[in-house]
Amino acid sequence: MSAAPEVASGGTLAGYNFAYLDEDTKRMIRRALLKAVAVPGHQVPFGSREMPLPYGWGTGGIQVTASVIGPDDTLKVIDQGADDTTNAVSIRRFFARVAGVATTERTADATVIQTRHRIPETPLREGQILVYQVPMPEPLFRLEPRVAETRRLHALGDYGLMHVKLYEDIARRGEVEISYNYPVMVNGRYLMSPSPIPAFDNPKMDRMPALQLFGAGREKRIYAVPPYTSVRSLDFEDHPFRPGRADASCALCGSRETYLDEVVTDDRGGRRFLCSDTDYCAERRADR
């Protein structure tokens, strides 16, 4: 049974519908996406399907991408900012095989960008769609474990629990101790998890010209932020939100503005900092 999968004309895999999911599933996800756009930041339940990779590897993002993507799209997939890690490469290859779409590593050339835990450094533009892979869509889940209760809190717009958490952080440590997955208010109404992007990326979500879609496969939730929509990181007047980054420059391109990954280089405390966004870093080096 080791024969290569049959390949149809155009290079896509035979025996599958366009973009893998059946049309009934796509229709259900599309309806959820439109309602998610209509109520920015509200989590819409959907019938998440079993995908050919395990939960936690981007099944929610993949289902959203599969319902959105068309033959004219160009897809970019990043994992922690990198185009060349296992998860990004395999998802990109998956859509090249089941949808026959063009793929790219350049942010500016992509029409659909699926991301795990980063927003590209290159500013996104109108017409682009950013699809986030979300492990836990409920921003209150560490504070209120009952799903029925979190739903009621969202209905009432009662986010006192989260304010108390931030206050207690400040009272104990002098600052908010959340460096990623930093909660945001969308359009002044819904508290939303931005997915585990670094807090450094939060300001990019505010009034972003691109459409932002969020898919949580295991938790079976979809939510969205339309373009030019207010996304505010939760804070206090006397303790304004301060996104953090390593106080260093990229060892490859020298950037002091981008989000950096710390790379341990030996067992004697040696370390380097590199841009987490591999495409942005490579373009900066090419421009020099």
x/- mask, other proteins, residues 119-158, rule CB under 8 A, reads --------x-----------------------xx-xxx--
Strand partners, 236: 239
> Shortest distance, CB of residue 131 to other proteins, whole angstroms?
12
Of 60, 215, 217, 253, which residue is the catalytic one? 253
Choose, by CB under 8 A, the member of 102, 187, 203, 251 that binds other proteins.
Answer: 187
Q: At what angle do helices 59-68 and 23-38 cross, to 10 degrees?
A: 100
Dihedral, CA of residue 29, residue 35, residue 38 and residue 44, to nearest 10? -90
Give kind and range of the element (H or E) at residue 62.
Answer: helix 59-68
60 part of the active site: no
Number of H helices, E strands in the chain: 7, 12
Residue 220 lies near other proteins (rule: CB under 8 A): no
Kindly state whether residue 89 participates in binding other proteins, applying the rule CB under 8 A: no
Per CB under 8 A, the list member of 8, 10, 15, 27 interacting with other proteins is 27
User: Which residues have CB under 8 Å from 44's CB, separation 6+?
Assistant: 32, 35, 36, 221, 222, 223
CB atoms within 10 A of CB 252: 15
One of 60, 81, 215, 281 is an active-site residue; which one? 281
93 vs 207 by CB, closer to other proteins: 207
Q: Does 211 bind other proteins (CB under 8 A)?
A: yes
The answer for residues whose C-beta is within 8 angstroms of residue 99's C-beta and 6 or more apart is 12, 18, 19, 20, 66, 69, 71
Active-site option among 10, 41, 244, 269: 41
Work out whether 18 is an interface residue with other proteins (CB under 8 A).
Answer: yes
Of the residues 11, 250, 254, 269, only one is catalytic, namely 250
> Contact between 33 and other proteins (CB under 8 A)?
yes
Q: Which of 13, 35, 89, 97 binds other proteins (CB under 8 A)?
A: 35
- Are 214 and 195 within 8 A, CB to CB? yes
Considering the complex, state which of residue 38 and residue 164 has its C-beta at the smaller distance from other proteins: 38
Name the residue with tokens 């930041």: 41
- Establish whether 217 is a catalytic residue: no
Contacts of 211 (CB under 8 A, 6+ apart): 37, 128, 129, 130, 224, 225, 226, 227
In this complex, which beta carbon is closest to other proteins, that of residue 82 or of residue 131?
Answer: 131
47: annotated active-site residue:
no
Q: How far is the CB of 65 from other proteins (least distance, A)?
A: 12
Q: Is 70 a catalytic residue?
A: no
Q: What is the DSSP letter of 1?
A: -
Examine residue 39 and tell whether it contacts other proteins (CB under 8 A). Answer: yes
Tell which residue, 13, 88, 93, 94, has the closest CA to residue 51: 94
The count of residues interacting with other proteins (CB under 8 A) is 46
Q: Is there a contact between 114 and 62 (Cβ–Cβ < 8 Å)? A: yes
Catalytic residue positions, numbered: 41, 250, 253, 275, 281
Interface residues with other proteins (CB under 8 A) are 17-19, 23-24, 26-28, 30-40, 42, 44-45, 67-71, 127, 151-152, 154-156, 187, 189-190, 207, 209, 211, 224-230
